[in-house]
């Protein structure tokens, strides 16, 4: 019997405690703390507040360690002037319909806060360090001001960030380390100022559009490792603006860009395309050091028609691969315009296009697929097996309307190393070689070494056998042209290590 009574008591207590976990309080400004009994102040975890509140009530909510969830969605914030608000003990003016500065600063145990839907401002450091918040961030459309550090280190907030159209500035570190905010970030035209580190280490953003920014401070997007593209319409781009955006592949700079500070795009190893709309490159005095520091060597710079010549001699811009015209047809820099292929092989290469294109070849020992298409694609080429004792070449032509033809010259190697010509045998050894190339062929012959680009490097007359000193040549692929019997010619490839 005693056990049954004890069990009932425990159940009743558990039910009472459960009932006290959540509570709704209708209050007037400055009196929220009086809405809870002494025991409720330690047991209520989820609180919903209605009525009017001011900075004194925010201070009570912040300084109480009991609350896991705070719902203020239907409450109204009224003005308060005094020393008992959320800042220090000096007298301050707290405006109506504004989340006060430091409202919940460093309260990392709070899991959910729903703000009043009528707010027009969020104060400095209002939610600074609230790393325990796991809400989907939704800033009311009525907000016109977001203070610096308002959401700094709110690393648990989720969702796509939408900045209300009335906001004009995102101050320093406002969203710094909000690492779970995700998807595209497109700022409204009203935002003209971005403070330093405003979105630093927001690793979940996938793209960013800045349509009307006058000033970008330092490190605004530093460490945003999820960003793959950025469209920037900003007059001033600050130091380290996109530093360490390790997934960034494309950047578009509008004609309004007037200066770019040091290391703005440093350490973006996947950056492949930069499009600029300025017909005249920014002068060096408007470019900081190493703007594109550690950018991949294959990065392409698209410049307006008629401006390539100026960009090719402009400091820093000239270090990129420059292509004139921001649309059309091109091959990535990894695709060389001269390809040397062994005796029999399949190869492929990517093509970048923004319209229809066609591929053809001047030799039938190459088979190409596809021969036409639209947009980006891959071209596959199959070479038939050669039985020739001389190298052979073919030219692949890639065409698109109103765009110069792209050409790739394919050179196929010879069939054998020993080349029988009547009673003559031409031998080259060792191949590859590091210093000297030994040559043997009965009779007199003139031997000439050419670079892969066709430049005549040296020539020598040899009778029967001899050697050619190539130690001074840099490592690479070379060709040996052999002229014998007066006018008969064969060509051999060799490799210098």
449 burial level (CB within 10 Å; 0-12, 13-18, 19+): buried
Bigger pLDDT: 57 vs 347: 57
Q: What percent of the chain has pLDDT over 90?
A: 53
- Distance, in Å, from the CA atom of 497 to the CA atom of 493, rounded to the nearest integer, reads 13
DSSP assignment of 400-449: ETTEEEEEEEEEEPPS-SSEEETTEEEEEESSSBSSEEEEEEEEEEEEEE
Q: Helical H runs in 34-97? A: 40-43, 55-63
Same domain, yes or no: 44 and 114? yes
pLDDT class of 332 with cuts at 50, 70, 90: low
pLDDT reported for residue 473: 87
Same domain, yes or no: 111 and 234? no
Alpha-carbon distances of 110 from 57, 145, 236, 245, rounded to whole Å: 16, 24, 38, 31
CATH classification at residue 222: 3.80.10.10
Element (H, E) at 11: helix 2-21
pLDDT class of 70 with cuts at 50, 70, 90: very high
Overall average pLDDT of the 362-378 stretch: 88
pLDDT reported for residue 339: 62
Bigger pLDDT: 123 vs 324: 123
pLDDT reported for residue 419: 47
Tokens describing residue 212:
């009307």
- Of 87, 119, 151, the position where a domain reaches its end is 119
3-state secondary structure (DSSP) of residue 4 = helix
Please give the biggest Cα pair distance in the chain. Answer: 124
Could you give the count of Cα atoms lying within 13 Å of 488 in the half-sphere of its Cβ?
A: 12
Same domain, yes or no: 310 and 166? yes
The residue assigned the tokens 């947009």 is 375
**Looking at the domain assignment, is residue 88 inside a domain?**
yes
CATH classification at residue 345: 2.60.40.10
Domains: count for the chain: 4
pLDDT digit string (tens) for 143-200?
999 999 999 999 999 999 999 999 999 999 999 999 999 999 999 999 999 999 999 9
- Distance, in Å, from the CA atom of 221 to the CA atom of 242, rounded to the nearest integer, reads 5
Same domain, yes or no: 427 and 399? no
- Distance, in Å, from the CA atom of 221 to the CA atom of 241, rounded to the nearest integer, reads 6
- Distance, in Å, from the CA atom of 281 to the CA atom of 296, rounded to the nearest integer, reads 20
Q: Which of 91-95, 368-372, 473-477 has the lowest mean pLDDT?
A: 473-477
- Using a CB cutoff of 8 Å and minimum separation of 24, what contacts does 306-313 make? 306/279, 307/279, 307/280, 307/281, 310/280, 310/281, 311/281
20 burial level (CB within 10 Å; 0-12, 13-18, 19+): middle
Q: What percent of the chain has pLDDT over 70?
A: 87
CATH classification at residue 438: 2.60.40.1930
Overall average pLDDT of the 264-276 stretch: 91
- Of 353, 384, 412, the position where a domain reaches its end is 412
**Looking at the domain assignment, is residue 375 inside a domain?**
yes
Overall average pLDDT of the 313-330 stretch: 79
pLDDT at residue 456 greater than cutoff 90: no
Bigger pLDDT: 4 vs 173: 173
* Structural domain span for residue 101: 17-119
pLDDT at residue 123 greater than cutoff 70: yes
pLDDT reported for residue 17: 45
Cα 236 to chain centroid distance, Å, stands at 19
The residue assigned the tokens 């509570």 is 23
Q: Mean of the per-residue pLDDT values for the chain?
A: 86
> Which of 253, 321, 265 shows the shortest CA–CA distance to 293?
265
**Looking at the domain assignment, is residue 134 inside a domain?**
no
Same domain, yes or no: 428 and 396? no
pLDDT reported for residue 420: 47
pLDDT at residue 97 greater than cutoff 50: yes
Same domain, yes or no: 110 and 163? no
pLDDT at residue 246 greater than cutoff 60: yes
> Which of 441, 474, 473, 442 shows the shortest CA–CA distance to 458?
473
Overall average pLDDT of the 382-406 stretch: 78
Bigger pLDDT: 439 vs 224: 224
pLDDT reported for residue 486: 65
- Of 326, 344, 361, the position where a domain reaches its end is 326
Element (H, E) at 2: helix 2-21
Describe the chain by its helix, strand, coil percentages, rounded to 5.
10, 40, 50
**Looking at the domain assignment, is residue 139 inside a domain?**
no
Tokens describing residue 372:
């036409």
pLDDT class of 62 with cuts at 50, 70, 90: very high
């Amino acid at each position: 019997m005693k056990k049954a009574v004890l069990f009932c008591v425990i159940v009743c207590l558990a039910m009472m405690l459960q009932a006290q976990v959540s509570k709704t309080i209708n209050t007037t400004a400055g009196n929220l703390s009086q809405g809870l009994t002494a025991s409720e102040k330690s047991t209520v975890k989820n609180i919903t507040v209605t009525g009017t509140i001011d900075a004194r009530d925010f201070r009570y909510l912040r300084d109480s360690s009991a609350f896991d969830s705070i719902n203020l969605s239907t409450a109204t914030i009224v003005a308060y002037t005094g020393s008992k608000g959320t800042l220090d003990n000096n007298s301050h003016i707290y405006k109506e319909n504004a989340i006060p500065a430091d409202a919940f600063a460093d309260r990392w145990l709070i899991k959910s806060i729903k703000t009043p839907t009528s707010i027009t401002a969020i104060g400095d450091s209002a939610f600074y360090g609230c790393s325990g918040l796991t809400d989907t961030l939704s800033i009311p459309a009525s907000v016109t001001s977001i203070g610096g550090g308002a959401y700094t280190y709110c690393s648990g907030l989720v969702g796509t960030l939408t900045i209300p159209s009335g906001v004009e500035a995102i101050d320093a570190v406002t969203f710094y380390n909000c690492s779970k905010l995700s998807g595209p970030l497109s700022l409204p035209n009203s935002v003209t100022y971005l403070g330093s580190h405003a979105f630093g280490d927001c690793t979940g953003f996938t793209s960013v559009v800045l349509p009307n920014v006058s000033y970008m401070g330092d490190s605004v997007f530093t460490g945003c490792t999820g960003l793959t593209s950025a469209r920037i319409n900003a007059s001033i781009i600050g130091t380290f603006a996109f530093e360490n955006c390790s997934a960034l592949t494309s950047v578009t700079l509008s004609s309004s860009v007037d200066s770019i500070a040091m290391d703005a795009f440093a350490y973006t190893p996947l950056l492949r395309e930069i499009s600029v709309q300025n017909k005249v490159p920014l002068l060096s005095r408007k470019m900081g050091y190493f703007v594109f520091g550690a950018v991949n060597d294959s990065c392409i710079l698209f410049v307006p028609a008629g401006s390539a010549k100026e960009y090719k001699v402009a400091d820093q811009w000239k270090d990129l691969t420059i292509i004139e015209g921001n649309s059309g047809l091109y091959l990535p820099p990894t695709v060389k315009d001269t390809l040397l292929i062994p005796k029999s092989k399949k190869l492929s290469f990517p093509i970048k296009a923004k319209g229809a294109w066609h591929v053809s070849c001047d030799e039938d020992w190459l088979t190409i697929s596809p021969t036409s298409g639209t947009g980006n694609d891959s071209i596959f080429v199959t070479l038939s097996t050669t039985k020739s004792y001389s190298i052979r070449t073919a030219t692949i032509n890639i065409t698109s309307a109103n765009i110069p033809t792209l050409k790739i010259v394919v050179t196929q190697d010879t069939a054998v190393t020993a080349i029988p010509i009547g009673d003559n045998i031409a031998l080259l050894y060792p191949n590859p070689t590091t210093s000297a190339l030994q040559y043997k062929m009965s009779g007199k012959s003139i031997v000439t070494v050419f670079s892969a680009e066709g430049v005549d490097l040296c020539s020598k007359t040899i009778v029967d056998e001899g050697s050619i000193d190539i130690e001074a040549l840099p490592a690479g692929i070379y060709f040996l042209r052999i002229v014998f019997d007066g006018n008969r010619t064969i060509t051999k490839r060799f490799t210098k290590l």
